[in-house]
Structures are given as structure tokens and as C-alpha cells.
């Protein structure tokens, strides 16, 4: 598999993807399937897909470098994840929308090699929600994953 997704994204954002015209079909399919820049689904593994959180956002949407996004009350969890991984995650997909009584946040972040994904879904209660780590396509509760590591 072609392992140059990040440079492809940078070239796309710079408007220079045309330099790879003969590979455009392959690049387009890679981006649709693995980067999901505009896709509704994100593939965490060949057999596991979830809805792109930025497609859920009606109040706010963001897709980009995780270091450019303020994780607010998830900063401590992110620091713990970085410590386990030995470095930062790469990319994040974020959506904010109005729930029954408050604004809810959903996000999905991944490492550069896409082996580890972090997913946060807020629910109605204070401190509620799901905090998951997907490692090589296997889902773990974040707290349990951190203890195991």
C-alpha cells in the first residue's frame, strides 16, 4: 500500500495534486477510503467503518491536525495517550451538535500510521459518554487500555 497519505493531503490543500495526474484515480480512492476528507464514513480497518464525526456537526466541524484543535476537558486523556504511544496523534475529525439539552462533541483522532484511533462521544450526563481506543481494529475502553499499557 502507498504510505504517503499525509503528503498527498498537504499537496491537495496546496492545490498541487495535479502533479500526480497519472496516479489521480488511485490517490482519489485512497483519500475516499482512508482519509475520508469529504466522505461520510471513516474506515478504521478494512472491516470497520464509522460515521465521520465532522459530518455530524451542525454547530461546528473540523478536520485537521490534532495539535491545532483545543481538546479542552480531554487534554489530560490526550497527554496519557501520547505518553503510551511515545508521541502525538496526527489527525482529528470533530463535530459539535445540539443534543437534547446541551451542545455535544464527537471526535475521532488517529496516529500517522492509522493503527491507533481515539473516539470520544459525549452523552447527556456530566462526564458521560464513550471514550474508545481502537488499536489494529480492536476496540478498547480508554481507561482499560491505558491501564493495560
Domain of residue 125 covers 51-148
How far apart, in whole angstroms, are the C-alpha atoms of residue 30 and residue 26?
Answer: 6
Is residue 122 situated within a structural domain? yes
Same domain, 93 and 142: yes
HSE (side-chain half, CA atoms, 13 Å) at 2: 16
pLDDT of residue 122: 81
Is residue 43 situated within a structural domain? no
Inform me whether the pLDDT recorded for 62 exceeds 80.
Answer: yes
Query: pLDDT tens, 7-52?
Result: 555 554 454 545 555 555 555 555 545 544 447 888 888 788 888 9
pLDDT of residue 133: 97
Same domain, 21 and 56: no
**Choice between 128 and 34, residue whose per-residue pLDDT is larger:** 128
What domain count does the chain have? Answer: 2
How far apart, in whole angstroms, are the C-alpha atoms of residue 135 and residue 149?
Answer: 12
* DSSP H helices in 31-141: 75-85
pLDDT of residue 17: 47
How far apart, in whole angstroms, are the C-alpha atoms of residue 69 and residue 11?
Answer: 21
How far apart, in whole angstroms, are the C-alpha atoms of residue 39 and residue 117?
Answer: 17
Same domain, 82 and 143: yes
Same domain, 24 and 79: no
Amino acid at each position: 500500500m502507498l504510505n504517503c497519505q499525509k503528503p498527498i493531503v498537504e499537496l491537495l490543500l496546496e492545490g498541487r495534486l495535479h502533479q500526480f495526474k497519472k496516479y489521480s484515480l488511485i490517490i482519489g480512492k485512497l483519500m475516499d477510503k482512508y482519509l475520508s476528507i469529504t466522505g461520510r464514513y471513516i474506515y478504521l480497518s478494512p472491516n470497520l467503518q464509522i460515521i465521520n464525526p465532522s459530518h455530524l456537526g451542525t454547530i461546528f466541524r473540523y478536520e485537521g491536525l490534532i495539535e491545532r484543535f483545543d481538546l479542552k476537558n480531554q487534554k489530560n486523556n490526550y497527554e496519557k495517550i501520547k505518553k503510551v504511544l511515545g508521541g502525538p496523534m496526527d489527525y482529528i475529525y470533530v463535530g459539535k451538535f445540539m443534543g437534547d439539552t446541551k451542545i455535544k462533541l464527537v471526535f475521532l483522532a488517529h496516529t500517522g500510521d492509522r493503527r491507533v484511533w481515539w473516539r470520544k462521544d459525549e452523552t447527556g450526563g456530566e462526564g458521560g459518554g464513550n471514550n474508545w481506543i481502537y488499536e489494529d481494529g480492536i476496540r478498547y475502553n480508554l481507561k482499560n487500555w491505558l491501564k493495560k499499557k
